[in-house]
Amino acid sequence: MISLEIDPRLRTLAGAIGLLGADGHINASWFQEPLTALRTMVADPQQRASLFSLLDAVLPPAEEHAGTATERRHPLLDPSWRGNVYVTVDGNRLGMAAALSTPPGTVPQASATLSLPLVNAGDSGVEAIAGSATAPLEMALEAAWGEDASSQRIRVVVSVDLHGHATVRILLDNSDLGAGVLPRVELDAAHLDTGAVTVITGLLQQVLLALTGAGAEAQRVADHLPELLGLTAGRTPLPITSLGAGGDTFRAWLRDLAADADALERTFGALIGLLGGASTAAATKPLHGTILDLGAGATLALTLDVASDASGAPAGLDLGVTLEVAAASAVLRGQATIVSIPLTGTAAVTVLPEAAVMLHAPGTSGALLPPGPVAIGSVAGGLRWDGIQVTPLLELRDLDLNGTPYPRLDLTHASAVDSAANTAVTGELR
């Protein structure tokens, strides 16, 4: 056996990839089949422990954004930024999360978090759990006040799984509701009656009233949360009492919302406003709202699109995210549909059904090839995920061949190129 003395982080990495055994000695068989050891990096208990230790050393967890008492969130971006993306570890679960918060020292301190467990790594193997009943997509909105407030912290958590089942929980920490201070009060929509919801609504409105005039961030919560929950005049409130009974009630509420363009725009605008961003005009499809300006032409935005059936009725809602870096010469754009929710039938909710990373040229400086016998608006290339596999993407946009327009010509499909070429040749022979 060969002993090896190396830097602790390199030793941990070697343990994670299976190069070092539990006894600290090199596994000589690793060099014969390294891929076999790499495949067990998460499933093997020893390798998994080393992998988690490596995460702790290289990407120290941000405790202030932990979702549960046992969860560790490892930031992938600069921790000083208002927003961040995290690798999450909760026991044997691995996942991803994104969070956006107000600057330190702000009262109240507010944050919004989107999280999704991806896999469960047990001794028997790795199990994909994303979007299941035990690992739903979760969005949390939280506000925290000082010690003198009647409630030091309020947290609203909305969860949706692949079957469309939704839950809403409201947690109040160190609250004085008139009978002394309670360390934690948890209100679960699955176990509430209509009267309890009325009490919650009244309490929420009182909290929002207290926020008025308390600062820009607090004012955003007071201005936008009622609209987001459908508590404003002329709106149908989110059916909190029925969410725990199954996905049909939630889908019905979303379906009615999608059918009312004004209400949908107001709700999406409230979400964007709550996150401190600004949404575009209603005529834009999909709805688009910038939530973070990263500077130097880079922006992070949310999108919301309505899919319609043959009759024009709403059939689905797609919530997405885009990251764009724009310049005159080119635009780099990453976009993904976070969740796709069918509004009719019994089809399951789909998590991350599509994503793409594309480079567009030119960026903001006009057409690639000006009008003439052949005109090209732009060219785009990159990679696309269709929910099953990753495929290359190369296409011409706003193409015109002898007067025949092609909004998009996919150069990776020979049939599309042949058709366009035949059309161009036929036009020349006439």
Q: Which two tokens stand for residue 382?
A: 């990159």
Q: Three-class SS string for 353-406?
A: EEEEEEEEECCCCCCCECCCCEEECEEEEEEEECCCCEEEEEEEEEEEECCEEE
- Give the residue from 43, 58, 73 where a domain finishes: 58
Q: Which two tokens stand for residue 95?
A: 């996942």
Phi, psi of 212 (to 5 degrees): -55, 125
In-domain check, residue 16: yes
In-domain check, residue 178: no
Q: What is the pLDDT of residue 267?
A: 92
In-domain check, residue 245: no
For CA atoms 154, 160, 161, 164, the dihedral sign is positive
Q: Are 192 and 201 in contact (CB under 8 A)?
A: no
Domain count, the chain: 2
Angstrom distances, CA of residue 251 to CA of 90, 165, 188, 239, 254: 30, 9, 19, 11, 5
In three-state secondary structure terms, 279 is strand
Beta-bridge partners for 358: 333, 382
Q: Which two tokens stand for residue 331?
A: 């635009």
Determine the structural domain holding residue 23 and report its residue range: 1-58
How far apart CA 112 and CA 143 sit, in angstroms, is: 9
How far apart CA 286 and CA 320 sit, in angstroms, is: 10
Tens digits of pLDDT across the chain (430 residues):
454 456 677 778 888 788 877 777 788 787 777 777 777 777 788 888 888 888 888 888 886 655 566 888 888 888 777 788 888 888 888 889 988 888 777 777 788 888 899 988 876 777 888 888 888 888 888 877 766 544 567 788 888 887 767 777 777 776 654 445 556 666 665 555 544 555 555 556 556 555 555 556 667 777 788 888 887 778 888 776 565 555 577 888 899 999 999 999 999 998 888 888 876 655 567 899 988 887 777 888 899 999 998 888 999 999 999 988 887 778 888 999 999 999 988 888 888 899 999 888 887 667 777 777 778 888 888 888 888 888 888 888 888 877 788 888 887 765 554 555 555 444 443 4
Residue 176 DSSP code? E
In-domain check, residue 360: no
Q: Locate the DSSP E strands across 15-150.
A: 71-75, 83-90, 93-101, 109-122, 125-128, 137-144
What torsion, rounded to 10 degrees, do the Cα atoms 162, 98, 90, 40 define? 80
- Give the residue from 28, 58, 88 where a domain finishes: 58
Q: What is the pLDDT of residue 208?
A: 59
In-domain check, residue 416: yes
In-domain check, residue 67: no
Q: Are 361 and 333 in contact (CB under 8 A)?
A: no
How far apart CA 196 and CA 110 sit, in angstroms, is: 25
In-domain check, residue 410: yes
Q: What is the pLDDT of residue 428?
A: 45
Beta-bridge partners for 97: 86, 115
Angstrom distances, CA of residue 203 to CA of 149, 151, 194: 14, 11, 14
136, with CB counted inside 10 A (0-12, 13-18, 19+), is: buried
- Give the residue from 58, 75, 92 where a domain finishes: 58
In three-state secondary structure terms, 337 is strand
Rounded to two decimals, the pTM is 0.55
Q: Which two tokens stand for residue 138?
A: 């979760």
In-domain check, residue 14: yes
Q: What is the pLDDT of residue 92?
A: 84
Q: Are 132 and 121 in contact (CB under 8 A)?
A: no
Buried b (16+ CB within 10 A) or exposed e, 197-217: beebeebbeebbebbeeeeeb
